[in-house]
Amino acid sequence: DTEVTQTPKHLVMGMTNKKSLKCEQHMGHRAMYWYKQKAKKPPELMFVYSYEKLSINESVPSRFSPECPNSSLLNLHLHALQPEDSALYLCASSQGSGTSSYEQYFGPGTRLTVT
Amino acid sequence: AQSVTQPDIHITVSEGASLELRCNYSYGATPYLFWYVQSPGQGLQLLLKYFSGDTLVQGIKGFEAEFKRSQSSFNLRKPSVHWSDAAEYFCAVGEGDTGRRALTFGSGTRLQVQP
């Protein structure tokens, strides 16, 4: 089963709200990723967790806060976002080591709108 | 740093015709190469991958790609396109020798299929 699930599918939030995006996989993968994708653009890497530890942060603003409670779950906490943060947020996972660790499987994404 | 170029922003083909989508990468060492497909508002689905070995790789949905190191290319092909192949296609490269599990994506090629 190569499935990554994300909730919610759609989210509308105001600039003063606090919300969270959730991602789950049951493939035994030990690396998980957050990407941001604007319309008609490729995905841009935000964070990488490897064995539940943050290994890459692509200089993402602190209003985005990732969390990896266990090897199957990945959250993205959102606070005081700006309208330009509106985008499709994609979660992905991969094996933790070896060449297969580059083979990422994506969830369907959360469409975020900041008003 | 590595980069990926997809020279064609938009391609239109007739159903049943053959397809080739171009991808050029810039990376000095061992590139790990991928093709992903994305339907509107959806996540990315892995079509095929190349790590090493046979330079012609087969993927899902009847797609194949050929790695040509001398041309720094990894073009995607399909002998006969179906209407359901209409989507956005992304080529991606991973840094095969650094262990940095982050993919760099090309800007994408939008495929339209005419009946």
Q: pLDDT digit string (tens) for A14-55?
A: 999 999 999 999 999 999 999 999 999 999 999 999 999 999
Q: Which residues of A touch B105 (CB under 8 A)?
A: 42-43
State yes or no: cis peptide before B115, omega within 30 of 0: no
Q: Distance (Å) from the C-alpha of residue B113 to the closest C-alpha of chain A?
A: 18
Is residue A60 scored above 70 in pLDDT? Answer: yes
pLDDT value of position A1: 54
The number of helix segments (H) and strand segments (E) in chain B equals 0, 12
CA B35 to chain centre: 3
Say if residues B14 and B86 touch (Cβ distance below 8 Å): no
pLDDT digits (tens, 9 = 90+) for B25-46: 987 677 899 999 999 888 999 9
Say if residues B4 and B23 touch (Cβ distance below 8 Å): yes
Closest partner CB to A111 (pick from B41, B90, B102)? B41
Say if residues A92 and A32 touch (Cβ distance below 8 Å): yes
Say if residues A32 and A74 touch (Cβ distance below 8 Å): yes
Low-confidence ranges of chain B (pLDDT < 70): 28, 96-97, 99
pLDDT classification of A2: cutoffs 50, 70, 90: low
Q: Do A103 and B43 touch (CB under 8 A)?
A: no
Measured between CA atoms, the residue of chain A closest to residue B92 is A42
Q: Which residues of B touch A56 (CB under 8 A)?
A: 100-102
Q: Does A94 touch chain B (CB under 8 A)?
A: yes
Residue closest to A80 by CA, chosen among A111, A114, A112, A46: A114
